[in-house]
Amino acid sequence: MANRIINMLLILLLLLVSSISTIRRSVPENFARAGHTNNWAVLVDTSRFWFNYRHVANVLSIYRSVKRLGIPDSQIILMVADDMACNPRNPRPATVFNNANQHINVYGDDVEVDYRGYEVTVENFVRLLTGRSPPGTPRSKQLLTDEGSNVLVYLTGHGGDGFLKFQDSEEVTSQELADAVEQMWQKRRYHEIFFMIDTCQAASLYEKFYSPNILSVASSLVGEDSLSHHVDPAIGVYIIDRYTYYALDFLERVEPDSTKTMGEFLAVCPKRVCISTVGVRKDLFSRDPHKVLITDFFGSLRPVELTVSGLNVTAIPRTQNRTRRSQKEREVPDRKLQYAKQFPTFIFES
Amino acid sequence: MTSDRGMILKEETSDGSTKGEDAEDNDAYRIFAAIAYAVVLIVIGLPLWWKTTDVYRVSLPYSRIAALDSLDVTLGMNISISTIDPARGGRLVADLKDIFKTSKLFQLTFLALPLEKKDLASVHSPEDLENASLQPRKPGELLLLEVPGLSRFTANHVLAGLKRTVYFSSETSESESAVKLSEVLESWLLQEKSLRQTVAAMTAPTETDQDRSGRRRMPTAAEYDIMITVVNPEPEKLHLNWDLPQAVQDYLEPLLQELSLLAAYAVKSQWLYFVTLNVQPKLVTETSGSGYQHYALAEDILPQIITPLEKKLASHVSRNPCLNFIVYIPPCEAAPLHIYRRQGMRVKGGVDAFLSPRWGGIVIHNPSSLICHNTSVPEPKEYSPDTAAIMGIFLAQLRLLMGIPELKEISRVGQLPLSTVSLRQWEFDALLRVRTLEQLTSAKLTLQSLSQLLGEISNIVINDAVGSSIYRAVNCVEHAADLLKTGQLDQAFNESKEAFLSAEAAFTDPSLLALLYFPDDQKYAVYIPLFLPVMIPVILSLKSIHAWLFGRMNFKTKLKED
């Protein structure tokens, strides 16, 4: 008898708990209030040549995730040598896969590469970050952030202790990167930066940062190498790196209205699967990563305010309207409908 | 004599002595050669090398830029008070002076102006007051006017006008007037707290955040793009009869004309078809107490509307900041669509619109139910949207996005409603003030950052263009601060805009990236292997040159003494 009562109480308690946990569906209020208004992403792959296929797959997978979660192409700067899809050694031309199952073609037909081929240089990267581009640089190649922008910076390629190799011919040191980010801070060109780097000895690249509001994660510490995940025998090269593979695994389960936190993302690749140790630098970041939504950096949700009333404008008298409209109707030809252009520069050219 | 001796000795041909003479000659020639090397390398070469490897740097006014830190930026302003009783005016002036003497940003000068009763004799409505000739015309000035019998027009004690005047009633007691007027000045007209917070947020962003209106305000720019989009998801069912260019010209152009001092505007419009909202609104049936069946959009999912819609708008073609205004007209099957607040009720007044700070606004305009429920009309049904309503909402959103804040309620204080004119002149003055301070602060910070960068890295080339931009920016900042102090608001704004643009041009000049990879240790690594092997013999031979020269001089003096 007592047992039955206890059982019933337990069942009631369970029901109560489960009903409470399913109430919330939208963004909870207790998450640290984000002060950003827009999101940008700078995704850089610094290597070229066929055997570095995995770096291209890395960066294109992050590009796909970021696009799916809402950041528009106009706010993504993609720097890739872009010599994989049409490489003569590619047995599946016009495709880049990030998995041996070859389920997703991350290259697709709407990838928008902003800096390709030999344009991926240290000089262009530093010019992009500091904003000192030569006049005439197209808008899609500029980082037009302001003080409310959260920027995601993802670098992948071959790196060493304190440097990152750019296309086998030059290198960028961690001090230069730190100085470029400081120049961004001086002009208030970012609100917060999330710096992700997947190379060997990646942690050395974020050691020298000295500007505020930067959260960094690296796939390996100084002295360790970042390893690739698996080889695709049909293509013949390593197809993705370990850290990015597990990061993608996490991001694939994130939706634009997700409540997952950056703290969970920072713990995404434990040592037993990643083999290298993931390094995190949080001392420059003012908020607690466990209270920061992942869509603060990976997605693009703009803050919204309801408009309570409109201005009471006096309407223009009807007679004037009608004469103008009848005039227009007489002269208006058939309006041609067309698909929206991807770069409709004609709109703002006078 | 030496040569004679040499000749004589040569004839005597003793090998040792000829060798001695020759040796001495050789010595001399060797020393001359060493001197020549030393002269060419050290006296000519070293300065020439220094001059030719010198980086071209225009000298910059570092001390003036450092002095900008302590630049005293105060806004001087003349506020005139007109009362019928001069004594009352004098006491009001004293009271207000007392209240505002602790202001850190403003230097307010209160003047008491006499007022004749006949000036206000023909006033029958507040609009007549507006047209009276005693309105101040200069931007930045303000008039506080006592109106006997203000209670005929309004129950409020203080009424803010459409131009640069605030009317207050003569029936209220003096202390109460002083308090109310100071409240109106503080939170509506001067906005000192907001100005100080804007400057603090720019100078120390890690400590202070922008306030609500600052977060919403578009960033400073010389030109803005405004893009108006009409989204019609099912054009085969609903045909919109709307002359959008005409509507823009009628309603939007006057406001942009008034704001033209601040920046240039390029307004474009477009129509998008077959684009949906990508969210699922909930169906609310008639039985749930609201009266009719409609669809509800929760406030929380509104951000998810903007994200996919942004990809379809062509707002990213120019470098100027773009304001997007979107009208979404739901098809009849999904109409009417209303927005519900988080608390579960609709916005009073039936406005379904929202804005996103620094981006733009979206209005949901439902087609009228008469047209939708009229099944006798074949598809596509014709519908003319209510232009005045939609444009009214756009204007309200545009005012907020350009930086005109909503005013907090003060009891017994009202404002004259706007009818045709979309901007009150004192609102425009407040906007000028905040933009001037923003631009000045931004120019100051840019100049200081640039001078620190160029001072530390001595290798960066500073060409003439950058140098002249920096000089122009510094001059304009100092001039703007002077103009602000004397209260000339529009000229101060223009100077600060010039300063801001010059500072930006100097900072983002592409030539500032040259010689960046040239640190000191690389310099030594390049020059030491080149110069050291050459300079070692020269330096060492200086000793023997010195010895030979002194030896000759001693010999000559010895000969002279002899």
- For residue range B228-285, what is the model confidence (pLDDT) as tens digits? 999 999 999 999 999 999 999 888 998 899 899 999 999 999 999 999 888 889 888 8
- Stretch A250-277: mean pLDDT, rounded? 92
User: Which positions in chain B touch A132 (Cβ < 8 Å)?
Assistant: 507-510, 512-513
pLDDT at A15 (0 to 100):
56
pLDDT digit string, tens, across residues A75-113: 999 999 989 999 999 999 999 999 999 888 999 888 999
- The full 3-state SS of B118-155, as one line of letters, equals HHHCCCCCHHHHHHCCCCCCCCCCEEEEEECCHHHCCC
Q: Distance (Å) from the C-alpha of residue B251 to the closest C-alpha of chain A?
A: 8
Catalytic residue positions of A, numbered: 158, 200
Which residues, in sequence order, are CB contacts of B489 under 8 Å at separation 6+? B138, B139, B140, B429, B432, B433, B436
* Better-scored residue on pLDDT, A334 or B78: B78
Q: Is the CB of B270 less than 8 angstroms away from the CB of A306? A: no
pLDDT at B139 (0 to 100):
84
Q: Is A147 on the interface with B (CB under 8 A)?
A: yes
Do strands A76-80 and A38-45 pair parallel, antiparallel, or not at all (unpaired)?
Answer: parallel
How far, CA to CA in Å, does A344 sit from each of A82, A347, B186, B226?
25, 6, 46, 15
State which residue of chain B sits closest to A192, comparing Cα positions.
B206
Range of weakest confidence among A28-37, A302-311, B356-365: A28-37
Contact B329, B240 (CB under 8 A): yes
Window 229-258 of A: residues touching B by CB (8 A cutoff) are: 256-257
Q: Is the CB of B510 less than 8 angstroms away from the CB of A133? A: yes
Backbone angles phi, psi at B48, to 5 degrees: -65, -45
The complex scores an ipTM of 0.82
State which residue of chain B sits closest to A129, comparing Cα positions.
B508
Residue A171 has pLDDT above 70, yes or no: yes
Asked if the bond preceding B336 is cis, omega within 30° of 0, the reply is yes
Q: Is the CB of A130 less than 8 angstroms away from the CB of B243? A: no
* Better-scored residue on pLDDT, B348 or A165: A165
First to last CA, chain A: 86
State which residue of chain B sits closest to A34, comparing Cα positions.
B209
Which residues, in sequence order, are CB contacts of A268 under 8 Å at separation 6+? A246, A247, A249, A250, A278
Amino acid letter at B380?
Answer: P
Which residues are registered as beta bridge partners of A78? A43
- The full 3-state SS of chain A, as one line of letters, equals CHHHHHHHHHHHHHHHHHHHHCCCCCCCCCCCCCCCCEEEEEEEECCCCHHHHHHHHHHHHHHHHHHHCCCCHHHEEEEECCCCCCCCCCCCCCCCECCCCCCCECCCCCCCCCEEHHHCCHHHHHHHHHCCCCCCCCHHHCCCCCCCEEEEEEEECEEECCEEEECCCEEEEHHHHHHHHHHHHHCCCCCEEEEEEECCCCHHHHCCCCCCCEEEEECCCCCCCCCEEEEECCCCEEEEEHHHHHHHHHHCCCCCCCCCEHHHHHCCCCHHHHCCCCEEECCCCCCCHHHCEHHHCCCCCCCCEECCCCCCCCCCCHHHHHHHHHHHHHHCCCCCCCCCCCCCHHHCCC
State which residue of chain B sits closest to A311, comparing Cα positions.
B392
Amino acid letter at B538?
Answer: V
b or e along A219-235 (b: 16 or more beta carbons within 10 Å of the residue's beta carbon)?
A: bbebebebebbeebeeb
pLDDT at A266 (0 to 100):
95
3 state DSSP class of B217: coil
Q: Distance (Å) from the C-alpha of residue A324 to the closest C-alpha of chain B?
A: 9
Nearest to A287 by CA among A20, A30, A1: A30
The two structure tokens encoding residue A58: 């890395």
d(CA A151, CA B228): 28
d(CA B519, CA A179): 14
Amino acid letter at A126?
Answer: V
Burial of B99 (0-12, 13-18, 19+ CB in 10 A): middle
d(CA B548, CA B529): 30
User: Which positions in chain B touch A73 (Cβ < 8 Å)?
Assistant: 311
b or e along A85-96 (b: 16 or more beta carbons within 10 Å of the residue's beta carbon)?
A: beeeebeeeebb
Please spell the DSSP secondary structure of B459-491, one letter per residue.
TS-B-HHHHHHHHHHHHHHHHHHHHHHHT-HHH
Which value, in Å, is the radius of gyration of the alpha carbons in chain A? 25
Nearest to B246 by CA among A335, A322, A347: A322
Window 267-296 of A: residues touching B by CB (8 A cutoff) are: 286
Among candidates B268, B273, B347 on the partner chain, residue whose Cβ is nearest the Cβ of A308: B347
Residue A20 has pLDDT above 50, yes or no: no
Contact B148, B84 (CB under 8 A): yes
Q: Is the CB of B420 less than 8 angstroms away from the CB of A314? A: yes
Among candidates B299, B317, B418 on the partner chain, residue whose Cβ is nearest the Cβ of A306: B299
Which residues are registered as beta bridge partners of B228? B269, B325
d(CA A70, CA B304): 9
How far, CA to CA in Å, does A303 sit from each of A296, B347, B485?
11, 18, 37
State which residue of chain B sits closest to A315, comparing Cα positions.
B388
Q: What's the pLDDT band for A25 if we cut at 50, 70, 90?
A: very low
Q: Is A347 on the interface with B (CB under 8 A)?
A: yes
Q: Number of A:B CB contacts under 8 A?
A: 186
3 state DSSP class of B170: coil
pLDDT at A332 (0 to 100):
52
User: Which positions in chain A touch B272 (Cβ < 8 Å)?
Assistant: 340
Q: How many CB atoms lie within 10 A of CB B448?
A: 16
Q: Which residues does chain B have with pLDDT short of 70?
A: 1-20, 287-291, 419-421, 514-519, 562
Among candidates B394, B418, B510 on the partner chain, residue whose Cβ is nearest the Cβ of A134: B510
User: Which positions in chain A touch B308 (Cβ < 8 Å)?
Assistant: 70
Among candidates A27, A187, A308 on the partner chain, residue whose Cβ is nearest the Cβ of B446: A187
> Could you tell me how many residues make up chain A?
350
Which value, in Å, is the radius of gyration of the alpha carbons in chain B? 39
Mention the CATH class of domain A36-298. Answer: alpha beta
Among candidates B359, B388, B508 on the partner chain, residue whose Cβ is nearest the Cβ of A315: B388
Q: Distance (Å) from the C-alpha of residue B439 to the closest C-alpha of chain A?
A: 13
Residue A28 has pLDDT above 80, yes or no: no
Q: What's the pLDDT band for A348 if we cut at 50, 70, 90?
A: low
* Better-scored residue on pLDDT, A315 or B333: B333
